[in-house]
């Protein structure tokens, strides 16, 4: 499910017990250093907006950010809101499971609506 898209970026939800989104560039690139400077700056700005909205909506214990792409070498950035009682904390979400998570979080759809609003405010309909 796409949470946001414009001519440069799109954002998808990763199905998970935690709030987790992935930001993609519409044009595929292998590494972050391959992006044109203006697009890289916009991608980082989108990360910042997602992080701030995750903090505002969910008050997580920590934000986690990752860019791997080892299976499919295409730049995309994971942003995850982490909680002390999620299934993997303090391990990364790719680490060893620590417990059965017991999260009771605010509605993801309300976060998603606020996030789309923030992104549209920031980027309008103008591409880089």
Q: What are the residues binding a second copy (CB under 8 A)?
A: 30-33, 40, 44, 47-48, 51-52, 55, 61-71, 73, 82, 89-92, 94-95
Contact 23, 46 (CB under 8 A): yes
Query: Minimum distance between the CB of residue 63 and a second copy, rounded to whole angstroms?
Result: 5
Cα–Cα separations (whole angstroms), residue 76 to 30, 32, 53, 73, 114:
9, 9, 19, 9, 22
Q: Cβ closer to a second copy: 71 or 126?
A: 71
Q: Cβ closer to a second copy: 69 or 101?
A: 69
Contact 39, 93 (CB under 8 A): no
Phi then psi dihedrals of residue 8, to 5 deg: -110, -40
Q: Cβ closer to a second copy: 50 or 112?
A: 50
Query: Minimum distance between the CB of residue 18 and a second copy, rounded to whole angstroms?
Result: 12
Q: Cβ closer to a second copy: 1 or 71?
A: 71
Query: Minimum distance between the CB of residue 1 and a second copy, rounded to whole angstroms?
Result: 24
Beta bridge partners of 77: 23
> Which of 128, 127, 115, 125 lies closest to 1, judged by CA?
115
Query: Minimum distance between the CB of residue 20 and a second copy, rounded to whole angstroms?
Result: 14
């Amino acid at each position: 499910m796409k949470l946001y898209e414009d001519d440069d970026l799109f954002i998808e939800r990763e199905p998970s017990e935690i709030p987790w989104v992935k930001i993609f560039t519409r044009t595929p690139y292998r590494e972050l250093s391959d992006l044109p400077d203006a697009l890289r700056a916009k991608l980082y700005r989108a990360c910042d907006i997602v992080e701030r909205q995750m903090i505002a909506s969910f008050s997580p214990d920590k934000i986690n950010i990752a860019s791997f792409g080892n299976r499919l070498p295409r730049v995309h950035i994971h942003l995850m809101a982490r909680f002390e009682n999620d299934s993997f904390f303090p391990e990364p979400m790719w680490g060893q499971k620590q417990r059965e998570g017991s999260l009771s979080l605010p509605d993801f759809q309300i976060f998603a609506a606020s996030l789309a609003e923030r992104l549209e405010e920031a980027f309008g309909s103008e591409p880089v």
